[in-house]
Amino acid sequence: MSKNKHTEILVIGAGPGGYAAAFRAADLGKKVTLVDRDEVMGGVCLNRGCIPSKALLHITKVMDEAASLSKAGVTFGKPKIDIDTIRQHKDKIVSQLNNGIAGMAKARKVDFLQGKAMFRSNSEVEVVNGKKKEVLSFDQCIIAAGSSSAMLPNIPKSKNILTSKTALELENIPKTMLVVGGGVIGVELGQVYATLGTKVSLVEFLPNIIPGADQDIVKPLERKLNKQFDSIMLNSKVVNIKESKKNVLSVTIEKEKTPTIIEYEKILIAIGRKPNTNLLNLKATSVTINDQGFINVDNYQRTSVKTIFAIGDISDNPMLAHKATHQGKVAAEVACGEPSIFDPKAIPSVVYTDPEVAWCGLTEIQAKTDDIPYSKAEFPWAASGRAIAMGANQGKTKILFDPDSKRVLGVGIVGPSAGDIISEGMLAIEMGSDAEDISLTIHPHPTIGETIGLASEVFDGTITDLYLPKKK
């Protein structure tokens, strides 16, 4: 039986962007209903992505660091892996955050409704949860329905073929695994399983892993993965997967048109994500979608229907939680009549591996492709006392500057805590800081963060922690 309800602002999707939008709109005095397919809020990021993967990455990073301490004279015994306890630890962290979001929703009097939301018109949706159906009319709607894992075509249905979601469930630790895709998800989860004892191989269609980043900041990670993984196959693609009666996956991998057949216990498909536009019955609305399946939006996150907004993974790349959060706040503010716009100068990207890789703003790849002039300054962590003490001397901090204004255009970092210190690079870009602004800022010593200041000193020619021959 269908019920009819009305809400001022309807938010579809309770991920980082969705609940940020709902909470901001509620703070601005609106009656808000938040709808999600899951029983709990948080979306893919909290429940099946960012948070559980970082919990596991932290465990494996500590394991690796403990093993490396033998070089410093401290030796631990071989770690004992209790997969059930690890899984419970991960789930406890997720549950704690779930409860926190639910508490904030309750405090703000945001109505939460579980179910699949499908549009009936430009002003109505039907929310279906089993046999229960509700029709919700709205004044304004914010779509934050996210994305799903992309899959290879024509592969068999098998519990041994994993997505990022099922890989994070950590059902067991397989003896062998093939990771298909050398992007962020592939290398992060591949490193988790490799550290826990799986013999991991990785196949990537392109000539490099983490193709969106400059390869000089990826190289230290690649060197680490070459030691941890059984093999990394670049310029290669999976052309066929067959499963035997013994649950063994036989994979045909092609490189330079030469096929090789290798058997694996598990396969993780990590070839990217696709927007969930096909789940919303958008054909019942006037909302337009581009060729890539994203909902078309302007800088105010408005769709072609001015009372319907779209944010996060469903609206554009990059598919990042922190981007969705900011877009969610913008959409909520615009919907509430507040002046707001999504117009960032840069969006940071982080690979939470060991070592971490982070970048923001202009990359050298982009600069060369688009013929953008730039100057570059680097500070090698081999000259950082803190990095040497941590055994992280292969790290690097790189800053790209405008040759004329000396302003920061982009930052790339590889090494421990790269994801944390990239924020200073983001602030510099947003504030229009130049090299002198950063080099004259006193950074604490000894820290990894001071490498940002030291890289700026390299550009200014004022560096004393390195010897640079005078330019003739």
Fold of 2-149+274-335: FAD/NAD(P)-binding domain (3.50.50)
User: Is-cis flag, bond preceding 153, omega within 30?
Assistant: no
Q: What is the pLDDT of residue 2?
A: 54
Question: Active-site residue among 322, 326, 443, 445?
Answer: 445
Low-confidence ranges of the chain (pLDDT < 70): 1-3, 471-472
Within 10 Å of residue 158's Cβ, how many Cβ atoms?
14
CA distance 117 to 305: 18
Beta bridge partners of 147: 275
Asked if residue 197 lies in contact with residue 228, where contact means CB atoms within 8 angstroms, the answer is no
* CATH code assigned to 161-271: 3.50.50.60
Asked if the domains at 161-271 and 349-460 fall in one CATH topology, the answer is: no
Angle at 145 between CA 140 and CA 148, to 5 degrees: 165
Beta bridge partners of 132: 129
Strand-pair category, 249-255 with 176-180: unpaired
Strand-pair category, 2-12 with 132-143: parallel
SS (H, E, C) 27-73: HCCCCEEEEECCCCCCHHHHHHCHHHHHHHHHHHHHHHHHHHHHHHC
Nearest Cα residue to 360 out of 321, 392, 399: 399
Q: What is the pLDDT of residue 1?
A: 44
User: Tokens standing for 322?
Assistant: 């922190």
**What is the reported pTM?**
0.93
Is 6 designated active site?
no
CA distance 439 to 427: 14
Within 10 Å of residue 55's Cβ, how many Cβ atoms?
18
Beta bridge partners of 35: 12, 113
Sign of CA dihedral 89, 85, 199, 228: positive
Condensed to tens digits (0 to 9), the pLDDT of residues 279-324 reads 999 999 999 999 999 999 999 999 999 999 999 999 999 999 999 9
Q: Is 210 helix (H, G, I), strand (E, B) or coil?
A: coil
Name the residue ranges covered by the structural domains of the chain: 2-149+274-335, 161-271, 349-460
Tell me whether residue 96 is exposed, middle or buried, using C-beta atoms within 10 angstroms of its C-beta: 0 to 12, 13 to 18, 19 or more.
exposed
* CATH code assigned to 349-460: 3.30.390.30
